[in-house]
Structure 1
Amino acid sequence: MRKLKYLDYWLLVPYMILSIFGIVMVYSASADIGTQNGGSPGSYLVKQAIYVVLGLMILTVMVLMNLQKLRDKTVLKYAGYVALGSLFLLLVMGQTINGAAGWFHVGPVSIQPAEFVKFYLIIWLANVIAQRQDRIQLEGWWVTMRQPLIICCGIVGLILLQPDLGGATINGAIIFVMILASGFNSRLAKTIFVGAFFIIVGVFFPILIKISELGFAKNVYQLQRIVAFVNPFEHSQSVGQQLVNSYYALSNGGIFGVGWGNSIQKTGYLPEPNTDFIMAILAEELGLITALAVIMLLFVIILRTTLVGVRSNSTYQALICYGAATYLTVQTLFNLGGVLGMLPITGVTFPFISYGGSSTWTLALVLGLVMNISARQKRYRATH
């Protein structure tokens, strides 16, 4: 309990503000959906409040936990079995939502394993790299890390097969940044990254767009999203509807918004207003200024997480912080990119604000771990 004296309020306060504000926005964005589904306007509010309370409990446990327990071989091994097993099972019996079989339906709750895999990859890869740091220097990066890298590629591949492009990309980004921090040749990494970018943008996307426009993939949800991204107004009555209505929401909101609860787009025009497009509803109701304030609070968490990593003398702890910062950054950029039409819509939620138990709990796991590391640093400085 002594760790509670060293809580990092630069992390805790923004987390609490965003989580509580998320409950408020989920209620506003989902009231019409709850009624249309035969429930009450507050049904999603109650669920999200429960998710946040459980998330706070998870965060508290992570802050107080002995980090060595997460490095235990048995714990990591069986957690890996659960992660891989759940991803395999999704391909067979996963619940399909928005074109991806990425959920298990457990009673009133839908569990998304790809979210929890983010946490597992962070703690597992940080431990593997930390344990092999000396070997990396002596034997070279590829010889030492090829087996873990193959496992990582397998995990990302299973997520991609759902297909969940957003989840696969975020997990891939976490792996990429942590590998860079492990001593991987940065010049080679830049070459790989730039080459992959140009292949995707210059070759892969145009081919997929052409295939979809020719009508060969009318039922492939992921391809339709790419077409909508390229020319949403041409497909405003079909696959471009989400993005067009997101533009309308942003335009309606202006600087100060139309007032909390007064969104037009959430009343059946904008699908997924309480998850993927909650920031569009927020901007419509509360305006650009409030949306920027939310983004700034999230930026404080990301910046503080990175700073905790930079200050750490432990490779393991630093890598956890870098992985956590990458997770938050990429997920935020993917969600905002989809809302603003700067990236294809990938079904990625906005951290702390969007509705969802799996996302809320994974964020609590990761942020609690970072706060644990921060508390250790503060206690060390206070006693030395």
Structure 2
Amino acid sequence: MKQPKKISKLHYLDFYILLPYLILCVIGILMVYSSSSYHLLDSELGTASKAIKQTSYFIFSLICMGFMYRINLTIFRKPKIMYFILVLTFLTLISLPLIGTSVGGAKRWINLGILLFQPSELVPLVLILFLATNLSKNNTLVPFSLKDHKGSLLVSLFFMILVALQPNIAGASMIFILVAVLFLSSGLSPLFMSLALIGFVALKRLGTVVLLSIPTDWMPDKFSYLVTRFEVMQNPFIDPTGKGFQTSNAYYAMHNGGFFGRGLGNSIQKKGFLPAADTDFIFAICIEELGLIFSLVILFLVFFMVGRLFLLAIKSKILYYSYLYIGCGMLLCLQVSVNVGSLLGYIPMTGLTFPFISYGGSSLLILSITLAIALNARGSELREQYKLGGMI
């Protein structure tokens, strides 16, 4: 029997994922330049300095994507490798008080010279790799058993608590939802998950009522910001020049943009009115300058990738890859949903960046590697089908 000729793995790249990613990163560089130029000019710095840095982060992320696409994903299924990654992530998180750099009053970053790296952003990706391995040991979807997955639950809960104590409640909540979705897709009873979700929403609502109705002097200082953020969520204009300054000006920016925007570079709110215009609130500047319609196109590109990943998860015949697709898609979905949700006032402000658009190397690098893992899984799956003579 004639053996099929060997084809490079690059032949199996999924451009339904790669092209939207590249488009979003290019838009991100343009928007970082636009949203940061006025502040940099006012500070007598080069107006393109942040855009140049973002470009270098993008190139570095592409290189890391290429490396991650090339490696054999089975390496992450080896217990020793996975435990090493878990321990390294744990040590990095607990060492933040000693080696961390304070940004915005919180020590969540490590200065690596070329970029500020936030270890808590790595935790969801590590848990995706860990849970995908544990939930697909026999490559057979079986009813969920607490006894079989007790270790996975404890590890997930442990890292969720570590992230919450940084403090990073938004990051811990994202981990909770991500882990819940992965367990639900593994055969956990929908009734049980529905009750857990109702309990989570009820707890959030109860927490909101408690935080806003009783004295909070007992609360540790590093968690006191929660009260302010819940107050602003209830009424973004409660104190437009104080605690509600960021959210209210984000609303003004979105109102200014209308359907078609004021034009690239013509934002009013970036001129000292909207802090973090190039990071947390960059989507508000997108709406102000590019308009609601073009901003919806940006959202469409993100959710197109999410939908593509979920579709691949449904079609995949390899359970491990299926969990990777679900985890990577859900992480991307949560990141954009939380950013836009906090911008619109549906949830408290979180400090999460908009995927591929916001300035910063840490988020771009982690999300790029996340997509590279999904692309790797897709390429590996297609190549295996080709070798077996199956349909691609």
TM-based fold match above 0.5: yes
Q: Does 2:358 match 1:354?
A: yes
Please report how far the alpha carbon of residue 71 of structure 1 lies from its aligned counterpart in structure 2 after TM superposition. 1.7
Q: Which residue of 2 aligns with 1:208?
A: 211
Please report how far the alpha carbon of residue 298 of structure 1 lies from its aligned counterpart in structure 2 after TM superposition. 0.7
Please report how far the alpha carbon of residue 134 of structure 1 lies from its aligned counterpart in structure 2 after TM superposition. 6.7
The letter for the 2-side match of 1:85 is L
1:101 pairs, out of 88, 104, 107, with 107
Alignment of 1:180-219 (within 5 A): 180-201=184-205, 203-211=206-214
1:315 pairs, out of 305, 314, 319, with 319
The letter for the 2-side match of 1:335 is N
**C-alpha distance in structure 2 between counterparts of 1:37 and 1:78, whole Å:** 44
Runs of 4+ in 1 over 4 A off after TM superposition: 132-137, 211-219
Q: Percentage identity across aligned positions?
A: 33
Q: Which residue of 1 aligns with 2:244?
A: 240
Alignment of 1:262-341 (within 5 A): 262-341=266-345
Please report how far the alpha carbon of residue 132 of structure 1 lies from its aligned counterpart in structure 2 after TM superposition. 6.3
Q: Is the alpha carbon distance of 1:163 and 1:36 closer, same or farther for their aligned partners in structure 2, counting shifts above 3 Å?
A: farther
CA contact (8 A) 1:119 1:366 kept: yes
Alignment of 1:128-277 (within 5 A): 128-131=134-137, 137=143, 141-201=145-205, 203-211=206-214, 220-277=224-281
Please report how far the alpha carbon of residue 378 of structure 1 lies from its aligned counterpart in structure 2 after TM superposition. 3.2
**C-alpha distance in structure 1 between counterparts of 2:213 and 2:254, whole Å:** 30
**C-alpha distance in structure 2 between counterparts of 1:57 and 1:212, whole Å:** 51
Q: Which residue of 1 aligns with 2:124?
A: 118
Q: Which residue of 2 aligns with 1:81?
A: 87
The letter for the 1-side match of 2:57 is Y
CA contact (8 A) 1:133 1:182 kept: no
Q: Is the alpha carbon distance of 1:119 and 1:349 closer, same or farther for their aligned partners in structure 2, counting shifts above 3 Å?
A: same
Q: Does 2:91 match 1:55?
A: no
1:69-94: CA deviation from partner (whole Å, max 9, x where unpaired):
22222221111111111111124443
CA contact (8 A) 1:136 1:144 kept: no
CA contact (8 A) 1:260 1:285 kept: yes
Q: Is the alpha carbon distance of 1:205 and 1:332 closer, same or farther for their aligned partners in structure 2, counting shifts above 3 Å?
A: same
CA contact (8 A) 1:235 1:241 kept: yes
The letter for the 1-side match of 2:111 is H
TM-score, scaled to structure 2:
0.92
Q: Is the alpha carbon distance of 1:163 and 1:7 closer, same or farther for their aligned partners in structure 2, counting shifts above 3 Å?
A: same
**C-alpha distance in structure 1 between counterparts of 2:334 and 2:235, whole Å:** 24
Please report how far the alpha carbon of residue 61 of structure 1 lies from its aligned counterpart in structure 2 after TM superposition. 1.7
**C-alpha distance in structure 2 between counterparts of 1:32 and 1:158, whole Å:** 38
Gaps of 5+ in 1: none
Q: Is the alpha carbon distance of 1:99 and 1:212 closer, same or farther for their aligned partners in structure 2, counting shifts above 3 Å?
A: farther
Please report how far the alpha carbon of residue 189 of structure 1 lies from its aligned counterpart in structure 2 after TM superposition. 1.1
Please report how far the alpha carbon of residue 381 of structure 1 lies from its aligned counterpart in structure 2 after TM superposition. 4.5
Equivalenced residues, count = 381
**C-alpha distance in structure 2 between counterparts of 1:141 and 1:32, whole Å:** 56
Aligned partner of residue 131 in structure 1, secondary structure: coil
More deviation in 35-44 or 157-166? Answer: 35-44
The letter for the 2-side match of 1:296 is F
Q: Which residue of 2 aligns with 1:8?
A: 14
Q: Cα RMSD over matched residues?
A: 2.1
Q: Is the alpha carbon distance of 1:106 and 1:58 closer, same or farther for their aligned partners in structure 2, counting shifts above 3 Å?
A: closer
Q: Which residue of 1 aligns with 2:4?
A: none
**C-alpha distance in structure 1 between counterparts of 2:19 and 2:291, whole Å:** 23
Query: Larger % of helix: which?
Result: 1
1:163-190: CA deviation from partner (whole Å, max 9, x where unpaired):
1122112222211111111222221111
Q: Does 2:379 match 1:375?
A: yes
Gaps of 5+ in 2: 1-6
Q: Which residue of 1 aligns with 2:3?
A: none
Please report how far the alpha carbon of residue 107 of structure 1 lies from its aligned counterpart in structure 2 after TM superposition. 2.4
TM-score, scaled to structure 1:
0.93
Aligned partner of residue 142 in structure 1, secondary structure: coil
